[in-house]
Amino acid sequence: MIFASNSNKFKYKPNPPQVLALGFVAMILIGSVLLSLSAAFTGGESLRYLDALFMAASAVCVTGLSVINPGTHLSTFGQIVLIVLVQIGGLGFMSMTTFAALVLRKRISFSERLILQEAINYSSNDGLIRLIRKVILYALAIEAAGAFMLALYLMNEMPLGQAVYFGVFHSISIFNNAGFDLFGVFPGRASSLIPYVDDPFVNIVSILLIFFGGIGFTVISELLTYPQTKKLSLNSKVVLYVSGLLIVVGTVVIFIMEFTNPLTLQPLSPTGKIFGALFQSVSSRSAGVNTLDPSTLRQSTQFFIILLMFIGAAPGSTGGGIKVTTFAVLVGAMVAMLRGRQDIVMFRSRIPEKTVYHAVTFTIIAFVVVVGAAMALSITERAPFLTILFEATSAFGTTGMSLGITPNLTPVGKILLIFLMFLGRLGPVTFAFALNGRKDKQPYRYPEGKITLG
């Protein structure tokens, strides 16, 4: 690591995926120990270790699934531990460590640059440290702006100190797409942002925080420098276009399916209906906060949200899922095939075959993992299969939405969701490379064969 000595005492040198995996595991274990302390829990008791491990994993993996109510069950110390884990998990422990090294004027080695490159899904080493510096500063600036606006608004409902505390906590949680909230501290009040379903200010501030947290740090950097450069990379164009398209399509679909639902959109004003559908569409792909209770949605809407959670956010962001770029490549491959074209073209650029293979591989692995976990959970848990599939997809997509079964999971169910959250945050391919330890290059190729499809 960055602060380690250059001693070659140990021959084993983990590769970048292994360092990332071990780093996340270390942060989860440290967080679980802190959350299991009696000082982290209210009422003078302590949290069971498995529950503390679950909450730590959910925070570091910026998921937001909870087996307890953070607003009532965690003390101020426990809440601070939780949100610090969210911040480290969202920005990446390597990014945070690198920023600390830069502040202390420490040298960043080439191997550490490779780990950083893997951590933020950056395609090159050029300008990597400069980008990390920008990433941290941009993230802190966005969180500070969100905290200020939320605190200013919440001052109308609570004392100044509590409003500032709530503003900071929820800004960090929402920007990092974690979805934890403290509003459960108020008796009889609905959780998350449900009381603000038709409030334009809270909706707009939260949607912007979710959007910037979910498009990826390299995209944010390019957007901020666009007035000078007038250029966006292909990756940024695809992320912005597909993210915008998914938001619009999701809003329209949810609006139509929930328009007559007396438990969600029907009682709301026209403005409330639009904001309710829009917020749910934006939040479903990774954020986890919600202004509509997911358990009251129609089953068709819940299944549609499962699809959005599976797609997830952008590469190098605080979100999970298969990523919007993977989804874009798959759709591009389908369109090219239906049109009889050999190449996948996006924004006048040809997508390499290697990228297509990666997209297909990543999607198949993710599908197998989610379906396999859902099948296992259907054995250990007593709940309808759609509810179980929703929970499993939410964990893998690091979304954090729940239909209410998380607090009642069996120990085996909690362990399964912990694994899903970890895998979703790290990425199945990165996890596979961490286990394998090396990427083999095939020294020869077999003769081409033909197989019938369709």
Helix 76-91 to helix 16-35 angle (10° resolution) is 170
Residue 449 falls inside a structural domain: no
Please give the Cα distance from 237 to 369 (Å, whole number).
29
Does 11 map to a domain? no
Q: Which amino acid is at 437?
A: G
Please indicate, yes or no, if residue 446 is contained in any of the structural domains.
no
Residues 393, 309: Cα–Cα separation, whole Å: 6
- Tell me the C-alpha distance between 17 and 118, whole Å: 7
Q: 13: closest CA among 441, 27, 431, 22?
A: 22
Structural domain includes residue 277:
yes
Q: How many CB atoms lie within 10 A of CB 333?
A: 17
Q: Is residue 99 part of a domain?
A: yes
For residues 215 and 285, is the Cβ–Cβ distance under 8 A? no
- Single out the residue of 95, 35, 90 nearest to residue 63, CA to CA: 90
Q: pTM of the prediction? A: 0.87
Q: What is the CA radius of gyration of the chain?
A: 22
| Number of domains into which the chain is organized | 1
For residues 402 and 126, give the distance between their C-alpha atoms in angstroms, rounded to a whole number. 41
Q: Give the CA diameter of the chain.
A: 73
Q: SS3 for 88-128, per residue?
A: HHHHCHHHHHHHHHHHCCCCCCHHHHHHHHHHCCCCCCCCH
pLDDT in the model for residue 14: 64
Q: What is the pLDDT of residue 231?
A: 87
Residue 346, strand partner residues: 349
The 10 Å Cβ neighbour count of residue 436 is 12
Assigned domain for 445 exists: no
Residue 327 lies in a domain: yes
What pLDDT tens digit does each residue of the chain (454 aa) get?
444 445 455 455 666 667 777 888 889 999 999 999 999 988 777 889 999 999 999 999 889 899 998 988 899 999 999 999 999 888 765 565 555 555 545 555 555 555 555 555 555 555 566 777 777 888 889 999 999 999 999 999 889 999 999 999 999 999 988 889 888 888 777 678 888 998 999 999 999 999 988 888 788 888 888 888 888 888 889 999 999 999 999 999 999 999 999 999 999 999 999 999 999 999 998 888 889 999 999 999 999 999 999 998 888 777 788 889 999 999 999 998 888 888 888 888 888 888 888 889 889 999 999 999 999 999 999 999 999 999 999 999 988 899 989 989 999 999 999 999 988 887 766 666 555 655 555 666 677 676 766 6
Unique residue bearing structure tokens 């459960």: 184
Q: Show the domain range for 232.
A: 16-435
Neighbours of 219 (CB within 10 A): 24
Residue 442 lies in a domain: no
3-state secondary structure of 437: coil
Please name which of 209, 203, 368, 389 lies closest in space to residue 294, comparing C-alpha atoms.
Answer: 389
